[in-house]
Structure 1
């Protein structure tokens, strides 16, 4: 099934296409995002720098794609380059057609093209010696590579990658196609995939190489898949040959030299499918019927401009604007619209794939898409429901037609509850309850000794003991008893929100009790959420600073996880001895242990609001923002499918979602004004005219022109197109400290 891109603009007339080509040609030589340019002349798209996060631990890629596109064509830099397959300080070993952004382990890297001049002795081991002139913008990438003296340019449509190679050197122009190319992580156990077998064919008359390649692995040794492809070229082959090395497969294609001293230019269009060569060829015919690289680039730019233009900001420094729009860009990279590429058993319904890191994205990405891309978010939720309807479970992560592991709880529950609370249109909420109810009440494997791919780990033990014991499994170390119990309780709260409409009285009563089981992990003697054994004893020895993925915690320690009760912060405040004690201890936590890019703790800076101290939230959010920058290492941690980037977007805007419920915290806006184009056609405006690096505290507020004395607002306030005005000052005041507190399960603590 061929389909238009979900955000594609309408087809333009030939005149408008010509104008767009001029704009696109100018863009391909535009200054980088950090260059000096008048602010008024720069559209949101022109502030994006895809190289932010390409050194350090961001695990992102700089190549060309469309928002939520099926194709992400990008350079690869070999083993050790992380999930995105690319590190800016490494040399290039190919340009492959599919990537994921910001994951812990690599995936895809299918079908690489590598241009060169002169002889190529080992086509499966090609690496540039130097690179220069590397630039990127949304929908475009270019680089010059030595020793071959060749310029590479990339752009993309929804399903097709376009390559343009300009050979300046005197040697024989050639392109090496590697059908077995994959991305490799830093450890053998994290290989992205292992090529198994393939079939390739060269059709000189069509100027095509086509075929298929099968793989196994990709973070799960038990899964396999096959990729079909077509690569079509605009120039005839002067010579061509297939090559094979062990399980590697590819083709070497030679082209004529340029005439009269001019460089040779070769364009190619590459399409993939998980069904057939014919389907891949169909994408070529429909989306790129000709060889106009600039037209494709201009169309990609229009699509990105529309997506990024949904939030317009005023004020802030050049670096802050670059950080903001680059983060917003990253939010649009995953998941990916694979409609027509779903497994046959799913039929032809809209289908999203690479719904990864649900355990992270529920916090920031999905609530943001609900505001600015509700049709996409509904597609994501409906795909999760299709996973349930077709294969039995929503899962917690999914890629390349397969479930991936469940990290802690069943985070799909929170994504569903968030959409339900906010009235996300286009979802069958009765079916949604059926799906999340299964997560809450059915144990996929009560005796499991491994991290599951569906459901909740050892749910039967949790239901019996009212917590997950650290010794639930003797054979499996990473029980994560505290982390899982806390997330299960939050998941139960999320499921309860739908149960009140669609569940039975017994289900409602059970979930109402279970949402409070987080307190069973609270050790009053130490003042932390602590692991417990089956017999009820506390886990020992206990060190609140011991970070682990192990018996008690996941990717953190007691200082990380003892604040994770999102649905009942009033109850958590009571456990800590009241608002003052809670505020003091939380201050210690965010001063010494907070990492904005470690998702279990992301919410901590906003929790002061529940204790009536929004001034602390304002201070610590701004402090956390100082760890980001517009440099290539300016993304301080793994982007986790856009989760960290979405945290940055929200925190710079000055509001932050409470996932699974219908309210948002008021933080400390970086910009003087932000206008959000909402999915319902209205606009939400947040004004903070005096905001600056020093003026970070809210002294007064108005919502809809009326005084506003609480540090949170409802989703309905945003969706009706209200204006929130914040008067900022350098020193904290008493604003909202006596106002209404955000919702919570327990009664208020004093």
Structure 2
């Protein structure tokens, strides 16, 4: 829960940025890599070496007054530790335990401000990064300098408010003075309450907080600040701090934090094989960032009493289902189990699974009900301990059948049309709930895949009728495919491709959205979550036409067969229309597997890594989305990317000579080894493979490989081979395969053979 760091005036969604912007404080909780509004950053502290002429009102209290540049080149970071030097020559170091931040400020022997003696003043402000505090209170204990307080704040990407509490203690110098401040003036009053300015829960921009001043520090000119955090009470914030850091031993806390990270990383073994430090740093940074969120707030939930774990900062499941949760499942199945249990506990107490959640508030739903995918992915991969699958199935069915009153923040919208028409119409008449009536195309394809994973769990739990219903509904993406739509570039040049998903009205007639609209080629930022957004979300029709994760064999046929599909997929990657900084792009890198060309997936990966994913400041192509970009690059470099919601991992050669993952449930180790490995990246094509010494021709793996352990050996070469190209070697798919793959026909028997499901007829609605 505690993630200490400096807060800057520039790009500060996560607090700090390497953009050279000035620092206004150091706060104790952050969310990493989010877009949009900044998040958390509650109760920042700020050190000053002294006040000019020893006048407390000559110190700086407001954020705009205390902004101070960093000394370039002084930022130092490693797991569990961060340090930076301010232009005032104050050196700030920080580390954390679970719910407590510990800072060590080293002050200059001679303060840099004129006429100032070394009498450090440290303030705590009742604010957060996005400046949403509506009310609060603060109390300073004159006997020991302890400062406690609370505030009410708003989430960064959702509705409602939350309350947060802190408890700050100081060590290293004798207390000289203390008090509170409001606006730019300080006084020696020991407590302060602030309220919203006339409107309930409206943000207040008026600065307010507390301060303590010390005599010259006892040792090394250092003062330590311990800040406990809680969402329950000030008393619990103090208790958290006292239990977790009883003696303020900064170096010991740093060592413990580092060891906690080493323990997390220890399940992975990498034989680098001579690759560059750029690739090694990129990989391990990706793993690290993937483990920052969701955050364990167990014991800190003020909304309901429960024996179940509580996780927060699901930013957002639309981003994280694709790669964050599958990577955590591989590396830390125990934590993934707790997260699934937390999702189900949220459902039990709030009525729906969240698609996004932060700071105990409901976050905005960007597309489908994608917690469904996380839960079914867990079921397929043995994440089952203490999970009530009856409740899990009930939660999934509620998403699919009961429209939420406000489907902007939970569940799905347009369910009447979804059930009766088989798609989400443009300009839909929805009398069951309210929500942003955009994204009809992207919501349709996401709802279809959500229904597919429900069908998967229905079959596993013996709900035969539901299985047939949801499997049929999973084909609804067909109903928005218009075979006559052509794609032209802005200059009128024909891309040469016909047939794309298109908007459709309630009466069945077609609308129009340019297939390149909302891409880097045309109005890139036009399709965000707003009432005027387009019929796709954060991406063009070109991209969403490829989104049929369970039905790829049918899609290959619909788009003209393997050759035509490959040509279209190549255009997607070569034209500049695809933006790798958004998560929908991830799966498209591996879709070559379904057309029997896994070598092309490997080739694409080496085009994106390290060109777009590397160890520079710009080495993340988009905002990290709490580790989404990190998890993509980590999985890709491990050589096993998941089709989330299915028991499928696409095989591409790891970026190292060998990688091994030790399973946290079974203790078994799965190893992938490259033979003829070339660190320069020439030999990236699999020529042949063996699994535990036996020939292996499929271009995909199942999770049993990681549970049971074993060795997958990939013999590499400089050119594409026949490995993984046969019809029987491609990943499973609902639709046809083999000769039917060229015509786009198929039926229930094909489904049964590909997935091992009972045979039944699949009467998809409409025609294509």
Task: Tell me, yes or no, if structure 1 residue 288 matches structure 2 residue 245.
Answer: yes
CA distance in structure 2 between the partners assigned to 1:388 and 1:396 by the alignment: 11
Q: Aligned residue for 1:244?
A: 182
Aligned equivalent of 1:472: 428
Equivalent residues in 2 for 1:281-680 (5 A)?
Answer: 281-315=238-272, 316-426=275-385, 427-445=387-405, 452-472=408-428, 479-502=438-461, 504-526=463-485, 527-540=499-512, 542-547=514-519, 548-549=526-527, 550-592=533-575, 593-625=577-609, 626-679=611-664, 680=666
3-state SS in 1 of match to 2:212: strand
Instruction: Kindly indicate whether the alpha-carbon contact (under 8 Å) linking 2:404 and 2:412 is maintained by their aligned counterparts in 1.
Output: yes
SS in structure 2 of the partner of residue 383 of structure 1: helix
Distance in 2 separating the partners of 1:721 and 1:347: 36
**C-alpha deviations, 1:540-563, integer Å up to 9, x for none?**
363434444123100011111110
Once the two structures are superposed, the pairs formed by residues 681-692 of structure 1 within 5 Å of their partners are 681-689=667-675, 690-692=677-679
- Other structure's SS at 1:371 match: helix
- Contact 1:622 1:668 (C-alpha < 8 Å) held by counterparts: no
1:348 to partner: Cα distance: 3.9
Could you say what secondary structure the match of 2:323 adopts?
helix
What is the RMSD computed on CA atoms of the aligned residues? 1.9
> In the alignment, what sits opposite 1:109?
41
Q: Does 1:73 align with 2:4?
A: yes
User: Quick one: which of 712, 726, 733 aligns to 2:700?
Assistant: 712
Q: How far is the alpha carbon of 1:601 from its aligned partner?
A: 2.1
Distance across 2 between alignment mates of 1:665 and 1:480: 29
Q: Is the 1:84–1:103 Cα contact (8 Å) retained in structure 2?
A: no
Q: 736, 748, 759: which one pairs with 1:747?
A: 736
Aligned length: 665
2:191 is matched with none
Unpaired stretches in structure 1, ≥5 consecutive residues: 1-69, 184-191
Deviates more, 1:659-668 or 1:203-212: 203-212
Secondary structure of residue in 1 paired with 2:179: strand
1:365–1:216 Cα change, 3 Å: closer
Provide closer, same or farther for how the CA distance between residues 156 and 342 of structure 1 changes in structure 2, counting only shifts above 3 A.
Answer: same
| Contact preservation (8 Å) 2:346, 2:354 | yes
Q: Distance in 2 between matches of 1:459 and 1:441?
A: 7
Larger Rg over CA atoms:
2
8 Å CA contact retained: 1:211, 1:230: yes
SS at match of 1:240: strand
TM-score by length of 1: 0.86
CA distance in structure 2 between the partners assigned to 1:209 and 1:651 by the alignment: 47
What residue number does 2:751 align with? none
2:376 alignment partner, SS class:
helix
Secondary structure at the residue paired with 2:209? Answer: strand
Offset from partner CA, 1:450-483 (integer Å, 9 cap, x none): x611101222222221100121269977510110
Residues in 1 aligned to 2:477 and 2:645: alpha-carbon distance in whole angstroms: 17
- CA gap of 1:355–1:236, structure 2 versus 1, over 3 A, is same
Comparing 483-492 with 130-139, greater Cα deviation is found at: 130-139
Q: How has the CA–CA distance of structure 1 residues 347 and 634 changed in structure 2, closer, same or farther, with 3 Å as cutoff?
A: same
SS in 2 for 1:642: helix
2:141 counterpart residue number: 203
Q: Is the 8 A contact 1:197 1:247 kept in 2?
A: no
Unaligned runs of at least 5 residues, structure 2: 52-57, 112-117, 184-204, 486-498, 520-525, 528-532, 743-768
For 2:435 and 2:342, how far apart are their aligned partners in 1?
31
Compared CA separation, residues 150 and 122, structure 1 to 2 (3 A)? closer
Q: Do the aligned residues in 2 keep the contact of 1:195 with 1:248 (CA within 8 Å)? A: no
How many angstroms apart in 1 are the aligned matches of 2:345 and 2:392? Answer: 10
